[in-house]
Structure 1
C-alpha cells in the first residue's frame, strides 16, 4: 500500500493550469493542510464574499471527513474500531460503513492489491534510503502478514456494525481517504450551486465544470524524475485524476530496485517496471485506491483491469521510458 511519505510527492505530480477572462465571475482559491497533505480548493463564483462562505464550507467538510476516518485521532470512529479489534462489534455511522464496504469491493476487484487493513502489519523494518544493504529475513516479513487481510473484516448491514476479527488489526484510509474527501467537498460545493471548481487533495484531483475561458480544465502529468515539469496533460471536466508514483524513495540491492510502495499481499516493496500510474475516473475515491493498486499489480495486469471497468482509464509510465495507456486515454503534448 502507499506509504505516507508519498503524499508530499503526489502534491507535485500535477500542474494545474487555470485561465481567466474579463467575465463577472472570478477564480478564488484557498490552501490549507489536512490529512497530512496540502489541500487546495479552487472555485469560480461571482464575489469574494460568496467565495469566502463557500471555501469555509469546503474546509469544514474536509475537517469533518478527517475526524471520521482518521486513525490518528483517538476520538474518531475509525480509532474506536481499531481499539476494539478482536474484542467487540462496533456500531458505526452509515457513512463510514459504506466507505468500508466500498473499500472491500475494491480489494476484491484488485485481488488484494488495495487493502485498508494494511496498517495492521508492522512494516517499520523497511527503510527506504540508498544506504540500505540487507533485506529483512523471511520470518520477519511473514510475521507482518498475520493481521492483514480485508477478509478479516466482518460487516453487518442490518445495524451498520463492524468487527475486526483479531486483536491488533487496524483499518486505515491513507490510500482512499483524500479521494473520498475530494468527492465530498465537490458534492457540497455543487449542492451550493458552484458550477465549476477543482479540488486538489494532496495530489488527488477532482474537477467539474469549465474554466472561465469555457475550456475544460487542463491537468498536467509530471515525470516522477522531473516532478515540476509536465510531460503531457489531459483536458478533462467532471472527472478525477490521481497519480501514484515511485518518487525517489527506494533502495537497490543486488541490482533490484525496491520502491517505497509495499504490496499488502506480501508485505514486500514493489519491484516491477512501473514508475508512475495516473488514473482517470468519475469518482475520486475510486481513482485514489485504484492508482496504488495498479502500481502494485504492474502494467499488464493493471491495464487489463482498467480496460475491463467502465469509466476508468489510466496512463502507466515505465522505468524504461515507455508509456502505456488504456483504450480511452487522449493525451496532449506541448
Structure 2
C-alpha cells in the first residue's frame, strides 16, 4: 500500500491499464512519457508537447516538486508532514491547516456525509490496528481493541471552519487519514500543472488513479482499461475518456489471510472491521480525480447492492465488478452507461 496504505499502497487503486495505442502516430511531435515514484507508488505521464513546452527534464522536475508538496502536506508516513503533525496533536482544539489540506479535508467530509459515513477519514486507529497503516503488522486484533479504536473514530468528532484555514478536533486522540482521497488530489494537481504549461493533451496516472485531458496520441479519446480483479489480471472493460478522471477501489490486491479467510484493507467505519460482501472492484468516472477517488472508496465500503443504489441516487458514473458464486459479474450505473454510450439515451 505504500504511502497511502488504507486504500492503495500496493497499487490498490491501480485497477487501470493504459491500453496500447493502436496504429501509427499520424503527426509530430512524438509523445513524451514520464515515469517515477511518489506517494508510495509509481506514476506515469503521457503528453503531446508543443513548441512552447519546457524540456522533458524540466517538466519531470516540476511534476516531482508538485507531488512532493502533496506528500509534505497529507502523508501519514512522513512524520514531519502537515497531517502527521496534526495527528500528533492529541488534545481537542482548533488547529490551523494549509489551504490545500483544508480543500481535501472539506471534500472528504462532504463525501463522508453524502455517503452516510462510508467514507470516513477518522478511521486511522482502525487502519493501524488491522495492520494496513505505517506499522503494517497485519492480523486479527482482539475484540476489545477493535471497540476501543472504533470509539476514537467518527466524522462528528471533526469540524471545519467555514471561513477556511483551520479545523476543530472535538475529542482527544483524533487522527486523520486522507489516503482514500489524497492520491486523486495529487493526480488533479499534476494535470493542472500540465494544463498551465499549455500541455493540453495528456494522461496522468498515479497508482492507478487517472485523469486525461484532450486527445491521446494519434487522435481520439483516451482508451483506458479497467482491470479484471483476478491475480492474473487482464482487461475487463475498455472506456474512452476525454477531460475526465477515473478512480478504482478493490479488495483483491491488499489483504491478508488468516484461518482460511481474506481480510481486505477496506475498513467499514461502522463495524471497525474489513468489509464483507461480494463487491471486488468499483470504478468511478468524474471530472475531479479527488472526488472519484473518494467515491470509489465509499462505494467499496457499501458493497455492490447498497453502493449501486447510492451511486444511482447521486447520479454517479460507476462500474461495479462483483462475485456471483464462482464467477464475476458487472454492473454499470445509468450515468456510466450513458457516458460511454450516449446514443443509447437518445
Q: What is the TM-score when the length of structure 1 is the normalising length?
A: 0.88
1:306 aligns with 2:288: no
Give the whole-Å Cα distance in 1 for the aligned partners of 2:203 and 2:311.
Answer: 24
Once the two structures are TM-superposed, the CA of residue 4 in structure 1 deviates from its matched residue by 4.0
SS at match of 1:278: strand
SS at match of 1:319: strand
Give the whole-Å Cα distance in 2 for the aligned partners of 1:328 and 1:226.
Answer: 29
Once the two structures are TM-superposed, the CA of residue 227 in structure 1 deviates from its matched residue by 5.2
SS at match of 2:117: coil
Give the whole-Å Cα distance in 1 for the aligned partners of 2:118 and 2:289.
Answer: 18
CA contact (8 A) 2:204 2:212 kept: yes
Aligned length: 324
Q: Which position in structure 2 is the counterpart of 1:327?
A: 334
One of 228, 250, 257 as aligned partner of 1:245: 250
CA contact (8 A) 1:3 1:261 kept: no
Once the two structures are TM-superposed, the CA of residue 278 in structure 1 deviates from its matched residue by 1.1
Q: Which position in structure 2 is the counterpart of 1:290?
A: 295
Q: Which position in structure 2 is the counterpart of 1:185?
A: 190
Q: What is the TM-score when the length of structure 2 is the normalising length?
A: 0.85
One of 7, 10, 13 as aligned partner of 2:12: 10
Q: Which position in structure 2 is the counterpart of 1:131?
A: none
1:140-161 deviations in Å (ceiling 9; x for gaps): 3211111111211122234621
One of 312, 317, 332 as aligned partner of 2:321: 317
1:119-154 deviations in Å (ceiling 9; x for gaps): 133652469xxxxxx965533321111111121112
Once the two structures are TM-superposed, the CA of residue 252 in structure 1 deviates from its matched residue by 6.8
Give the whole-Å Cα distance in 2 for the aligned partners of 1:284 and 1:5.
Answer: 15
Once the two structures are TM-superposed, the CA of residue 211 in structure 1 deviates from its matched residue by 1.1
1:27 aligns with 2:31: yes
The CA RMSD measured in Å over matched residues stands at 2.6
Q: Which 4+ runs in 1 deviate beyond 6 A?
A: none
CA contact (8 A) 2:13 2:247 kept: no
Q: Which position in structure 2 is the counterpart of 1:166?
A: 171
Once the two structures are TM-superposed, the CA of residue 258 in structure 1 deviates from its matched residue by 4.0
CA contact (8 A) 2:93 2:170 kept: no
SS at match of 1:228: coil
Structure 1 residues 227 and 8: CA distance shift in structure 2, 3 A: farther
1:235-265 deviations in Å (ceiling 9; x for gaps): 1111111111111535476x87543321122
- Please, which runs of 5 or more residues in structure 1 have no aligned partner? 128-133
Give the whole-Å Cα distance in 2 for the aligned partners of 1:318 and 1:149.
Answer: 28
CA contact (8 A) 2:223 2:239 kept: yes
Q: Which position in structure 2 is the counterpart of 1:146?
A: 151
Give the whole-Å Cα distance in 2 for the aligned partners of 1:70 and 1:272.
Answer: 29
Q: Which position in structure 2 is the counterpart of 1:43?
A: 47
